[in-house]
Structure 1
Amino acid sequence: MSEHGCDIAIVGGGLSGGLIALALARHRPDLVVRLIEAGPQAGGNHRWSWFASDLSADGEALLKGFRKAHWDAGYDVRFPGRERTLQTPYRSLSSSDFAAALQRDLAPGTVLTGQEVSALAADGVTLRDGSRINARTVIDARGFATTGHLTGGWQVFMGRHVRTPEPHGIDRPVIMDATVDQVAPSGNGGAYRFVYVLPLGAHEVFVEDTYYADSPMLDRSALSGRIDQYLRAHGLEGEILGFETGVLPVITGGDFAGFQRAQAVAGVAVVGARGGFVHPLTSYTLPFAVETALAVAREADLPGELLAARLEALSRRHWSRTAFYRLLGRMLFGAARPQERYRIFARFYGLGAPLIERFYAARSTLADKLRVLSGRPPVPIMRALAALATTPPRLLAPHRKDIS
């Protein structure tokens, strides 16, 4: 058994783990860091997007070195009977560009890929092959785990990157196109469906079919067929350059303390979705991953146990301040009939642009919350009250995550 050490070992090379490693490299280059990833590259196979208004100046600076797609002319949303262009600039980052920047900007030997972890402890990490990486601080960034303590639904999606033979003519993202058929694929129960479109170049477009679904079942064949239909209908057929799939939690409530306890390893800090740093309704993680990375860099001299306690307190604070979005999620899944769920989003996108920006960043003011809940409700009042009085289903991993 070989042993080698470092100051900070980060387990999980996804968005949260990678940004922490980058923040430490920028602000604390004196520290020896190891970013341990089980897959072949950091970041996996994902695309992360966000609004420019989501990030502070320090957050923008942290992401400056990444090759990103930019749309400064805003974005569109489409619903039956309503279309709107909002002026908030939008950004997107692919996992391949994320991984390339980490390899370029981190010290040689920092990123360890293809390394499965068998055990974590406050003083180090044991790899599957029996070797151990000793560390003063260990951070668990391995992603969301279903413990049975949280409740809600799921965001299920499949995306496809296409090169069109002719210029597609789309000049800004379509964040939600809910003019599509609202019937969910077989096995998903009820769902709110929309298509997400990113023009990545004159001949390149990323199209994602997304469902706010009762079930985490991902039917690859059905979603692929629906993407085919959307591409044909909009003249976007072409060469397939890549694809991605995902199943993300939409958290509406539960026992957060129990969720933390179920995953706790004494003295090990927990970050990312595994630590609860997620927008409960949109499943966005990037703004919170950036905030957490900067916080870790500021507190990098703390002993591992103290850093773990500090991040646990931050996650409890995040849970508390995002209660409003969990309430809206309960209304979405419990009060709105599946084929009518789009009405909630259509009404929301009729509100003021600054309110929408603060909503996505999870910084809604009291006035914002009152405005969202006021006026003619998009769901029946009695169904809304019943949803709030009913215990939502627990978030549990499916026996089969997806079907072909």
Structure 2
Amino acid sequence: MRPESCDLAIAGCGLAGGLVALAMARLRPELRVIVVERGAALGGQHLWSFFASDLPQGAEALADALTTARWDSYEVRFPSRSRVLATPYRTMSSGRLDAAVRAALPPECVITGVETTAVTPTSITLADGRSIAAKGVLDARGIPGLPHMAGGWQKFLGQRLRLAAPHGLAMPVVMDARVEQTDGYRFVYCLPFSPTEVFVEDTYYADGSALDLPLLRRRIADYAARQGWQVDSCEYEESGVLPVIAAGDFNAFWRAGQAGAARAGTRAALVHPLTSYSVPDAVRFALHLTTLDNLSGTRLERASHAWAAQHWRKGRFYRMLTRMLFGAARPEARWRVLERFYGLPKPLIERFYAGRSTMADKARILAGKPPVPVGAALASLTGRGRPLASLDGSAA
């Protein structure tokens, strides 16, 4: 078949790939961009949440296109502390991403329902035999694990519930750790989308990646019952297992890609090492790519490598905290680390989630009496955690 051609081809149109496509359409409209997604819909079936303070200056317009819900504050709940923080909180949806990308690109530039079988710096080959020739290719397909890295897992099941009566939540509950602590640090996350609609997610910071969906569904039902909520229906469900990075060999990780194409998102390890948040890095990287004057295959790969390597270097402090969380605290007592953290000043917490902690922030986080044994904390700094090469925790 005759190959299609473009300036930039993006393999995988989830959050990272979709934001690059939107940023290019807004800021580099002279470029022809083609996106390829194996699913029928762009973005799959996901919600992505973030704090307004996460975004760099000038990014609001890009994020607004995908945002479905906004709140002025959020709440956290722990056994010995609850707190409301006046930091605006936002949620994006895959449905909005799908609509926004389709509105921004010509119909022939959005290819869905077909697997990408091969990627090079200047081409994408599809399972149906088609090929796309491009000046540059960006591989934004998600990967289930991170070879040559180690740590733990953040895993979850979330359901959007329709209730028979109002739930009474005035704002998101980002962490409710007043639940039974099983399989690591467990908390419940609630997003009130309307008086009678709430998204409830059961989340774990766990050593293993196994996800028992029937068990988590029962736990969500039990949580709703304890709140006094009568559930009429479950409108939507999503689940996931995200890497929490404690250590790794970034250069070996990058070489393991082999394709030689530029990368974005999880495939470039562009996530917060401890929280697994991806929105801030996805937005920053998308905007950065629009400033490049040369998007050719080799140059684009070098640019993505340089950006990802810098992100890795900046994440050293957060990887150390991951080692302490997983290595120093007993699984059932990890909530104490987060409870103490949420007693710190609000600006510090905001900078932490944005991945912009200052030296003073880092000193404050580590100062004082630690919520874990000092000996265990020191010993954890020499550890790595379990391999993150695959979802079952096995080595690559």
Q: TM-score range by the shorter chain?
A: over 0.9
Within 5 Å, which residues of 2 pair with 1:306-325? 306-325=299-318
- Alpha-carbon distance between aligned partners in 2 of 1:308 and 1:133, rounded to the nearest angstrom: 17
Alignment partner of 1:257 is 2:251 = yes
Match of 1:283 among 270, 273, 276: 276
Taking a change above 3 Å as real, the CA distance of residues 300 and 198 of structure 1, as seen in their structure-2 partners, is farther
Check the 8 A contact 1:79/1:179 in 2, yes or no.
yes
* SS of residue in 2 equivalent to 1:263: coil
Taking a change above 3 Å as real, the CA distance of residues 300 and 160 of structure 1, as seen in their structure-2 partners, is farther
> Counterpart of 1:263 in structure 2: which amino acid?
G
* SS of residue in 2 equivalent to 1:68: strand
Which residue is equivalent to 1:172?
Answer: 171
* SS of residue in 2 equivalent to 1:57: coil
Q: Give the number of aligned pairs.
A: 393
- Alpha-carbon distance between aligned partners in 1 of 2:57 and 2:392, rounded to the nearest angstrom: 43
Check the 8 A contact 1:152/1:329 in 2, yes or no.
yes
Check the 8 A contact 2:155/2:203 in 1, yes or no.
yes
- Alpha-carbon distance between aligned partners in 2 of 1:400 and 1:365, rounded to the nearest angstrom: 33
**How far is 1:334 from its partner?**
0.5
- Alpha-carbon distance between aligned partners in 2 of 1:135 and 1:52, rounded to the nearest angstrom: 35
Match of 2:373 among 375, 380, 383: 380
> Counterpart of 1:42 in structure 2: which amino acid?
L
TM-score (normalised: structure 2): 0.97
Which residue is equivalent to 2:27?
Answer: 27
Within 5 Å, which residues of 2 pair with 1:178-257? 178-184=177-183, 191-236=184-229, 237-257=231-251
Alignment partner of 1:81 is 2:75 = no
Bigger drift between 145-154 and 311-320 goes to: 145-154
Which residue is equivalent to 1:54?
Answer: 54
**How far is 1:67 from its partner?**
4.3
- Alpha-carbon distance between aligned partners in 2 of 1:61 and 1:398, rounded to the nearest angstrom: 35
> Counterpart of 1:331 in structure 2: which amino acid?
M
* SS of residue in 2 equivalent to 1:397: coil
- Alpha-carbon distance between aligned partners in 1 of 2:346 and 2:371, rounded to the nearest angstrom: 19
- Alpha-carbon distance between aligned partners in 2 of 1:365 and 1:386, rounded to the nearest angstrom: 25
Alignment partner of 1:334 is 2:327 = yes
- Alpha-carbon distance between aligned partners in 1 of 2:146 and 2:84, rounded to the nearest angstrom: 40
CA RMSD of aligned residues (A): 1.4
TM-score (normalised: structure 1): 0.95
* SS of residue in 2 equivalent to 1:70: strand
- Alpha-carbon distance between aligned partners in 2 of 1:70 and 1:300, rounded to the nearest angstrom: 35
Which residue is equivalent to 2:122?
Answer: 123
Check the 8 A contact 1:161/1:207 in 2, yes or no.
yes
Bigger drift between 387-396 and 304-313 goes to: 387-396
**How far is 1:299 from its partner?**
1.1
Q: Deviations over 1:124-180 (max 9, x none)?
A: 111112211111100000113535300000001000001112122211000000000
> Counterpart of 1:116 in structure 2: which amino acid?
E
- Alpha-carbon distance between aligned partners in 2 of 1:57 and 1:391, rounded to the nearest angstrom: 35
Check the 8 A contact 1:145/1:274 in 2, yes or no.
no
Taking a change above 3 Å as real, the CA distance of residues 376 and 239 of structure 1, as seen in their structure-2 partners, is same
Which residue is equivalent to 2:63?
Answer: 63
**How far is 1:207 from its partner?**
0.3
Which residue is equivalent to 2:359?
Answer: 366
* SS of residue in 2 equivalent to 1:292: helix
> Counterpart of 2:388 in structure 1: which amino acid?
L
